[in-house]
């Protein structure tokens, strides 16, 4: 299960409200091979659009 949230993050001396995945920036790497099937459950409590 992947959790997507909006969070205030400080980078390069600036604080911005950004989207983080599982508390990470950048989010976790998803590795797969050709013809693999993935089932990814995403919890998006902020109702923000996510583009893959």
pTM of the model: 0.54
pLDDT exceeds cutoff 90 at 51: no
Q: What residue segments make up the domains of the chain, in order of their start?
A: 2-44
Contact status, residue 4 vs residue 21, Cβ threshold 8 Å: yes
pLDDT exceeds cutoff 90 at 4: no
Token pair, residue 33, equals 């091979």
pLDDT exceeds cutoff 80 at 50: no
Tens of pLDDT, residue by residue over 8-43, are 888 889 999 888 888 877 878 889 999 999 998 887
Pick 37 or 51 by higher pLDDT: 37
């Amino acid at each position: 299960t992947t959790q997507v949230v909006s969070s205030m993050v400080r980078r390069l001396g600036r604080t911005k409200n950004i989207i983080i995945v599982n508390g990470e920036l950048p989010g976790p790497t998803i590795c797969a091979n050709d013809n693999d099937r993935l089932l990814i459950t995403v919890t998006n409590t902020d109702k923000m659009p996510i583009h893959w």
